[in-house]
Amino acid sequence: VRRVMTRAGIASGAEPVPGPAREFPYTVGDFRRIADILRNETGIALTEVKAPLVYSRLVKRLRELGLQSFESYCALISQADEVEERRVMSAALTTNITRFFREPHHFEHLRTVVLPPLIDLALSGGRVRLWSAGCSSGEEPYSIALTLLSLLPDAEHYDIKILAVDIDPNVLALGRAGLYSARAMADVDPAMRATWFSRAPQGETEMWSVAPPLRDLVTFRELNLIAPWPMRGAFQAIFCRNTVIYFDQEVQRQVWRDMAAVCAPGGHLYVGHSERMAGTDLFELAGLTIYRRAEDR
C-alpha cells in the first residue's frame, strides 16, 4: 500500500489527496474511510493510488445529496441505518467492464468439453445449472446461453438454467432489460445475432434486444459474493471472471472455497485471464484459466 508521506512519516489523513484543485474538500482520511467501508461491504480492496478515481466516481453523488465535503459524505455512510447509501456508494465504485464472449477460449471449452455431456443429461430429464458470478450487465451469462443455444436451440424445453448474480443493482437492471448497442453486439456472431436478438425499434442508435428463448434461460439476482449465499448448488459450470481479482487474497481464497462447495463433482470453474488459483487442492487445472473440481470430493 502506497501511503502519502509527510514530514512526520505516514500521513495522518488530514491532508488533501494530492491532485488538481477540487470542487469538494477530499482528504487522505476520507479516502481511507470510504475504502474501509467498501471493503466491508463488497470485499473490494482499494490502494491509495485509487484515491483520485474514488473522488471522480462519487463527486456526482455529493452534488445530488447537496453535501459540501467528503467528510460529511463519510459521516453519512458511517451511520448504521444508511444501508442504502452504502449500496449506492458501492455500486458507484465497482468496475463493470465486460463484453460478449470475453475470453473466447472459455466459450470454446464450454461448447466442446463441458456442454455436450450436460446436454445429454438434460435430454434424459436431468438438471443442468450454470452460474455467472459477477455477471455485470449480462454479456457473460447471455454468452453462456448463446453457446448452449448453438448446440441445443430448444434448450428452453429442458431443465437448464443460468443464474447470473452481481452486487450492483444498476448492472442487473441492464442485464434484465437485455438491450445492447451495435458496438456491444460486434462481439456476437451475425448468425447468432439474427436468431437470438431482435432489432429494437427505439431511437436512432442501433440497439438489439435479447429474444425470449435467450432471455428465459438467464435469471438475474442480486447477491454479494462475500456474504452468505442462499443457493446450495450444484453448478456444473461456474464463471467467476474479473470479479474476485479486486478482493484481498484471503477473501479470494474464501470465495474459491465457497465455490468449490457449490460446484458439482467434475464441474468446471472459469476465472479471469490474470487470475490464478494458487495453493488449493479444491480444483485441478483443466486449461488456461479453467479449473475442474475433483470427482471424489
> Of 22, 39, 57, 176, which is the active-site residue?
57
> What are the beta bridge partners of residue 130?
162, 237
Scanning 63-71, 78-86, 113-121, 241-249 for contacts with ligand SAM by CB under 6 A, the matching segment is 241-249
Rule CB under 6 A: say whether 48 interacts with ligand SAM: no
Rule CB under 6 A: say whether 46 interacts with ligand SAM: no
Scanning 59-67, 69-77, 237-245, 281-289 for contacts with ligand SAM by CB under 6 A, the matching segment is 237-245
> Of 86, 166, 168, 292, which is the active-site residue?
166
Among 69, 78, 96, 254, binds ligand SAM (CB under 6 A): 96
C-alpha 289/C-alpha 276 separation (Å) is 7
> What are the beta bridge partners of residue 6?
9
Number of other CB atoms surrounding residue 282 within 10 Å: 17
C-alpha 20/C-alpha 10 separation (Å) is 22
57 counts as catalytic: yes
Rule CB under 6 A: say whether 95 interacts with ligand SAM: yes
- For residue 8, whether the previous peptide bond is cis, meaning omega lies within 30 degrees of 0, is no
Among 136, 236, 252, 289, binds ligand SAM (CB under 6 A): 136
Who contacts 148 (Cβ-Cβ below 8 Å, separation ≥6)? 115, 119, 130, 155, 160, 162, 217
Q: Are 255 and 167 in contact (CB under 8 A)?
A: no
Query: Nearer Cβ to ligand SAM, position 184 or 264?
Result: 184
Query: Nearer Cβ to ligand SAM, position 48 or 166?
Result: 166
Scanning 162-170, 187-195, 203-211, 287-295 for contacts with ligand SAM by CB under 6 A, the matching segment is 162-170
Residue appearing with cell numbers 463527486: 59
Q: How would DSSP label each residue in 1-41? A: -PPPEETTEE--S-SBPSSS--SS--BHHHHHHHHHHHHHH
Rule CB under 6 A: say whether 42 interacts with ligand SAM: yes
Window 141-160: residues binding ligand SAM (CB under 6 A): none
Rule CB under 6 A: say whether 224 interacts with ligand SAM: yes
Smallest distance, Å, CB 278 to ligand SAM? 20
Scanning 154-162, 184-192, 217-225, 283-291 for contacts with ligand SAM by CB under 6 A, the matching segment is 217-225
C-alpha 243/C-alpha 272 separation (Å) is 8
Among 27, 147, 236, 242, binds ligand SAM (CB under 6 A): 242
Q: What is the DSSP letter of 207?
A: E
166 counts as catalytic: yes
155 grid coordinates: 434448450
Catalytic residues: 57, 166
Rule CB under 6 A: which residues touch ligand SAM? 42-44, 94-98, 102, 134, 136, 140, 166-168, 171, 223-226, 241-243, 272
